């Protein structure tokens, strides 16, 4: 294995790069930072649950107590979303708002956002709304073209 790795790094890659590599026409990088929700909010398990009468959510044998909230007195019978992150932590969301974060054992860490940094910046919301508007216009145009092709 060591001999194969040495061959790859010392002989194969230099020859391969010499033959196929093309220099960039402009300096710099083509990578841009992600604008939008925090990746952890996308790359997690998300399941919906209904809040029990004691303002708790059951998730995989744990009982997650939803703390008092300035926006609502309680969340009884409300459908919420539980996010289970790869590091074992959990979060409970009602719509876009994070109600609380929990350790893997179910103890409350804090109320508020599930991960540092804004999950929905103003720019992201604006671009998301514009994207929805353009998607609707595109869909309507496609439907009109489809109808026109059917009639002709």
pLDDT (tens digit per residue) in 77-114:
999 999 999 999 999 999 989 999 999 999 999 665 44
Q: Would you list the domain boundaries of the chain?
A: 39-111
Q: Give the pLDDT of residue 129.
A: 52
What number is the average pLDDT over the span 2-29? 91
Residue 69 pLDDT exceeds 80: yes
Q: What is the DSSP string of 2-49?
A: HHHHHHIIIIIHHHHHHHH----SSSS-------SS-HHHHSSEEEEE
Give CA–CA dist 148/114, Å, rounded: 48
Q: Give the pLDDT of residue 115.
A: 45
Ramachandran sector of residue 53 (left: φ over 0; alpha: ψ -120 to 50; beta: rest): alpha
pTM over 0.85: no
What number is the average pLDDT over the span 136-146? 75
What number is the average pLDDT over the span 133-150? 74
Using pLDDT thresholds of 50, 70 and 90, give the confidence band for residue 123.
very low
CA angle 98, 101, 103 (to 5 degrees): 160
């Amino acid at each position: 294995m060591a001999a194969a790795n040495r061959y790859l790094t010392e002989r194969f890659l230099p020859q391969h790069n010499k033959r196929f590599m093309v220099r960039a026409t402009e300096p710099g990088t083509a990578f841009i930072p992600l604008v939008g929700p925090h990746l952890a909010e996308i790359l997690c398990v998300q399941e919906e649950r209904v809040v029990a009468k004691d303002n708790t959510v059951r998730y995989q044998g744990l009982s997650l107590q939803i703390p008092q909230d300035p926006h609502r007195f309680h969340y009884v019978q409300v459908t919420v979303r539980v996010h289970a992150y790869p590091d074992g932590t959990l979060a409970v969301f009602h719509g876009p708002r994070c109600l609380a974060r929990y350790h893997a054992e179910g103890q409350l860490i804090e109320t508020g956002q599930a991960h540092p940094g804004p999950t929905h910046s103003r720019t992201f919301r604006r671009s998301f709304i514009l994207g929805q508007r353009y998607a609707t216009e595109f869909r309507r145009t496609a439907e009109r073209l489809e109808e026109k092709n059917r009639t002709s």
